[in-house]
Amino acid sequence: MAENSQSRAARKKQQKQSKEKGKKSVVKRIFTTLLIIGLVGALLGGGLFVYYVQGAPNLDEAKLSDPYSTKLYDANGDLFAELGTQKRTKITYEDVPQVLENAVLATEDVRFFDHFGIDLQRIGGAIYANITEGFGAQGASTITQQVVKRSFLSPKKSIERKVQEQWLALKLEQKYSKEQIFSMYLNKIYYGNNAYGVASAAKLYFNKDLNELTLPEAALLAGLPQRPSAYDPYKHPDLAQERKNVVLDLMVQHEKISEAEAKEAKAVKVQSMLSEQTETNIPYDAFIEQVLKEIQGKVDDVNVYEDGLKVYTTLDPNAQQKAEQLLDENGGISFPDQELQTAATVLDTKTGAIRAIAGGRNTEGINATFNYAIDGESQPGSTFKPIMDYGPAIEHLKWSTHHQLNDEPYNYLTGEKNEIRNWDGRFMGQMSAREALARSRNVPAVKTLNEVGLEKALSFAEGLGIEFNEKTKVESNAIGGGENVTTLELAEAYAAFGNEGVHNEAFSVTRIEFQDGSEPLEFEQKSNVAMNDSTAYMVTDMLKDVVSSSIGTGTRANVSGLPLAGKTGTTNEDKDSWFTGYTTNYTISVWTGYGNDKRSIPDDNYSKYIPQLYFQTLMSHISQGVETTDFKKPSSVVESKVEAGTSPAKLPSEYTPSNLIRYELFVKGTEPTNRSQAYDQLNPVEGLQANYDQGKQSITLSWQYKQDKDRPVTFTVKGASGGQSPQTITEGIKETKIQIPNVQPGETYSFEVIAVSERNDANTSSPKSVQIEVPEKEDDLLDGLDGENDKDEEDKKDKEDKQDKEDKQDKDDKEDKKENDSNNDNENGSNQENNNESGNTDDNQNEDPNQNSDEGTDSDDQTNPEQPSEDSTEEETNEENNG
């Protein structure tokens, strides 16, 4: 402390000598300065210069002591936060240690104690730097000018403001001492994390009083005011370290410290100097962080914490409160541990206005903790499929929602050409684009991107606000394995699908008013037509199935009675889980994961579904009492019936089973016009014949049928004897000939053959029938049909009886030959028949009782029961892994 007092005394003596010396030339300095200003005024025009000076505000001492707070207003015009009213500790010049003064002067205004408010040498250097290095390369404002600017003027850059700034700096130097002005500067300056003034900053970052500061600590504090958010040592320690070292180099350059001292101070890491963060207690910190980022990105030379602004925002307090509450321990969602993070962004679907931002769990204030909603980029997983695959395919290739894709083994076409895997490790074959998106199959998605072409797909995504670098322009973007995104970016992209294809840049600020009464700044919103309205509507309709269909992966996000669409997404090893969805009013994107700690989300059948549960609860809440209309089908889209599985799409016929009729969407002019014949009534078989083979004791059935490759069929054969009901002999055969063994003698058999569609066994032809009578004493024609089996003893007895009859008949024939000649002829004709009897289906009036007859009749009682669809659900899935 004594050492500090000695240095302070020496410094005061030096400054006194400097002042005495300065007084001798004060008239000369004032004259020189006024001359320069006069010259500037002459260049501008005498009248204009006088006008600017006369319009300059008065030096208000109250404004010099305390900066104005900035007021933030929500979408309803209600005040919800004030920035610049917390963490303020005033100091005097006597409280400033020499090490801090040297660091500040070396960094901000090394000739502060020598100039008269305006540094002519610095102006010349700034002009030269701006000419040689580009406009804005170096500023010329002194500490005095900065005090004036922050106290009385708006941050707008203009000649008028610059003239007034220089004029007021001269007046301030005349009214106040250098020490007072230096104290004003150190009390007014903003150091980040809601800390105003250097004393508050020292307490916040190091938990120290000013007289306890070390050289590296002083250097860090001196470097923060230039960009307090960018150099925030808690969030960006590496950038803060770089900035600290720049200040140390400046101190060496201006002979404030030695090279050795600088080297020793540079070796001290920023993280080792910091104290633990404390909470700021400002509401809606995640949303405010976006407001600050937006203002700093769009307005030059403004300090929200010091310039007394009125900022009008898009905040919906109802949505913001619920978004934050859901992240609390008692918010209704069961988090498995304290480390698992969740973040979300809520947008107005029609305008892009940001209604709420939840930056993460366990937050501690503005910029105190990482904001996962606007800064935490992660791979989007399958939420990229509408953006990179199906949206571009509909836009550029005019695909319908029915377009057929094959989920089969497939490799990337670029890079190492690795195999693409689905989350369940299997392939499901042919399916429509609608089903592929609802089931979130990876192979169809990558095939779709390759059909479109990577360049067109990337261009489509860029039109939705997604930015890529050269390393992330890769094929794996098809399943979200390339570029990283935030919830804000993904919500912005999805909102365009719900807004008829119009993309709006997301925004949180609408208007800024300045404390000096200058013209307010209205923020212009950027928008562009990202796609045709047909593309937007068709993608939306497909995404409806994701949440409402039994095969969809996002059914947990569905809100009963609310028309909404959305998509799930997970990354490899379940390190990230997403859900992004929208209604005509709101778009919400939700992410869950461990952030930079790339751990897998617990496999507990709950945690990976947190984004869906969060979305469902929040969307239900903010939609209460708000009319939510359904998405309107534009005239550029046609809805048409199609027969499932047809490629290209075909209209169903009257024979198409009802469970195979789909309603799909087509870009107008591409809808199907041809009718499918796959399920038309099949033609019956032709040329059906039944031939008896006495030697083999069997009947051979044969027929003809002209196969159609588009309508393949199999055959069912039925048979009966003795007037019994027909029973199936065989079915599903491709052959047009079969043999029936072990036929019974003396029986009359009837057969029918039916053609059956391979695609739908309910689609059958009318039966064709044939009948045949087997001679007496022959084997049973259909031994198995009536359940009787011949015994060896019965066979032997039958043979003996037959022989006795034949012997008796021969004897009778000889005795009665003359008398019964005609009868004997008939008997002999019967016993000497040909071994092979045949029936002809074209002649059903055959008089020979042993010849078969073709009934030639259609069956009137054929049924056409519903059969399961070929592309019907095999398994309800509610998860995915994009590989």
Residue 693 phi, psi dihedral angles, 5° rounding: -115, 105
- CA dist 822 and 750 (Å) reads 32
- CA dist 860 and 528 (Å) reads 63
**What is the per-residue burial (b if ≥16 Cβ within 10 Å, else e) of 112-121?**
bbebbbbbee
Write the DSSP assignment of 563-632 as a string of letters.
--EEEEEE-GGG-EEEEEEE-SSEEEEEEEE-TTS-PPPP-SSSGGGHHHHHHHHHHHHHHTTS--PPPP
H or E stretch including 287?
helix 285-298
3-class DSSP state of 373: coil
Find the catalytic residue in 69, 151, 382, 607: 382
**Known catalytic residue: 258?**
no
The separation between CA 500 and the C-alpha centre of its own chain, rounded to angstroms, equals 18
- CA dist 224 and 103 (Å) reads 12
Instruction: Determine contact, residues 532/521, Cβ cutoff 8 Å.
Output: no
Write the DSSP symbol of residue 883: -
Residue 833 vs residues 77, 542, 692, 696, 840: alpha-carbon distances, Å: 109, 72, 12, 16, 18
Q: How deeply is 863 buried, as exposed, middle or buried, from its count of CB atoms within 10 A (0-12, 13-18, 19+)? A: exposed
H or E stretch including 104?
helix 98-108
Instruction: Determine contact, residues 189/245, Cβ cutoff 8 Å.
Output: no
Q: How deeply is 844 buried, as exposed, middle or buried, from its count of CB atoms within 10 A (0-12, 13-18, 19+)? A: middle
**Known catalytic residue: 880?**
no
Instruction: Determine contact, residues 753/716, Cβ cutoff 8 Å.
Output: yes
Instruction: Determine contact, residues 656/676, Cβ cutoff 8 Å.
Output: yes
Find the catalytic residue in 108, 217, 643, 664: 108
Write the DSSP assignment of 484-525 as a string of letters.
-B-HHHHHHHHHHHHTTTEEE--BSEEEEE-TT-PPPEEPPP
3-class DSSP state of 639: strand
Q: Quickly tell me which residue has 């610049």 as its tokens.
A: 84
Q: Compute how many other C-beta atoms are within 10 angstroms of the C-beta atom of residue 480.
A: 28
Hey, which residues are catalytic here? 108, 382
